[in-house]
Amino acid sequence: MTSPAFDFDSVSLEWLRAKPGAKWRRTPGALAAWVADMDFAPPPVVVDALQRAATGGDLGYPDWRHITGGSPATDAFVERCARRYGWHIDEADTMELNDVVQGIQIVLHLCTQPGDRVVVHTPAYPPFLHSVHDSGREVLAVPAARSADSPTGWAFDHDALDAQLNSTPAKVLLLCHPHNPTGHVFSEAELRSLAAIAERHRLLIISDEIHADLTYAPAVHLPIALFAPQRTVTIHAASKAFNLAGLRYAIMHIGAAEVRSAIAQVPGHLFGAANLMGAVAAEAAWREGDEWLAAVLAHLDRQRTLLTSLLAEHMPSVGYSPPAATYLAWLDCRSLSWGDDPSVQFLQRGVRLSEGPNFGDEGNGCARLNFATSSALLREMVVRMGTPAG
Ligand SMILES: Cc1ncc(COP(=O)(O)O)c(C=O)c1O
């Protein structure tokens, strides 16, 4: 018999509605397919590690350095990067963070000036856009285009970017790899070409690789730092792949010397310190969570395929390419003529999706659906989405 922790089809609506987190609490009358949390309980190895820490009698200051690396979690991270990605890094170049977006904002704040441009692949994860705009920087967009020739269904015109940077210079390439919301996994050829563009135009690369462990074979995740080691800051977390976002823990690897020295000049307490439980959870996930990760990824792989057939049956005019990574489906609803924000209609029909326009102009007419749930609930969601509100 499959253990409940590995039986991702066993989640019930009653259990989800009783959970205290935002995803289901904020959608009392609807099915929740918005924020990027999975509907599953966290991996048992993580729960065990947290329980051991809680009952071990010491929740005082941990004996770790929190700015230059050296906690058990950074240690596990360094070891995992070598094992999974062939990416060999020095633990002294890591910095623990409270979350991924904090790392993005630290680097933008310290290494760019108001008015500087930041290259972003659009549609974009909304906090990318806020982080750039709210700090007075400007987005230089690289729009996604659907492409039958691309293995992921999506393509970006990097030659056009290269040419544009000659007349419209930028300071930073803020990469989301794998890409939220399209699920695009940048290939080795794309990463090499982006690294060359960054070199030619002196761009600092900030690469958010939080979804890396949710890459479906045959796609393969390669850190862009492999191709631009001295230009790149890479930010990672266990929170998406192992469903731990509330624990607030991330790691930034700083390959770019200018970022290291900019950070060194700022009082360390300004960045806060890592949370003991976040680090305990990340270490357990990265060292002992691979069996759970493989099981959840197999389930999500079935879900992304199931979504193809459910949409074909209930909403055939909605555009959808199964993502090459992530549990997020980017739905092109423009043929429905429901205006810029189709999530309004979906909510009236009883399913909460993420609002397309929040992902930038290319999000108009689109919505993002989170399919990290049971197959029965995914079916119910798409049936509701396709049924006019009564
Ligand atoms: C691409 C991406 N980056 C960052 C985050 C959020 O990470 P954090 O909560 O650690 O800031 C998410 C959450 O969905 C995400 O999709």
From the number of C-beta atoms within 10 Å of its C-beta (0-12, 13-18, 19+), residue 207 rates as buried
Query: Could you tell me the distance, in angstroms and rounded to a whole number, from the CA of residue 35 to the centre of ligand 1?
Result: 10
Distance from the alpha carbon of residue 209 to the mean position of ligand 1, in angstroms: 9
CA distances from 304 to 70, 80, 221, 283, 384 (A): 38, 27, 18, 29, 18
CA distances from 331 to 300, 306, 335, 347, 385 (A): 17, 14, 11, 15, 12
Hey, which bits of 242-385 come out as E strands?
250-254, 328-332, 351-352, 354-355, 366-370
User: What CATH number was assigned to the domain covering residues 4-36+290-385?
Assistant: 3.90.1150.10
Partnered with residue 205 across adjacent β-strands are 173, 232
CATH fold for domain 72-288: Aspartate Aminotransferase; domain 2 (3.40.640)
Alpha-carbon distance of 217 to 301, in angstroms, equals 9
Q: Where are the domains of the chain?
A: 4-36+290-385, 72-288
Q: Which two tokens stand for residue 176?
A: 């989301």
Give CA–CA dist 228/256, Å, rounded. Answer: 9
* Cα 183 to middle of ligand 1, angstroms: 14
Q: Which residue has the tokens 């959840």?
A: 296
The DSSP output letter for 327 is S
Residue that has been written with the tokens 């999974």 in this structure = 84
**How far is residue 122's CA from residue 309's CA, in Å, rounded to a whole number?**
27
What averages of pLDDT result for each successive group of 10 residues across the chain (390 residues)?
80 95 94 98 98 95 65 93 96 94 98 98 98 97 94 95 98 98 98 98 98 98 98 98 97 98 94 92 98 98 98 98 98 97 98 98 97 98 94
Rounded CA-CA distance 80/115 in Å is 38
pLDDT of residue 67: 42
CA pair distance 350, 344, nearest whole angstrom: 10
Phi, psi values for residue 382, rounded to 5°: -70, -35
pLDDT for residue 268: 87
Q: Assess whether the C-beta atom of 239 lies below 6 angstroms from ligand 1.
A: yes
Residue of 96, 180, 184 best suited for mutating to test ligand 1, as the one with most atoms within 8 Å of CB = 180
Whole-structure pTM value: 0.96
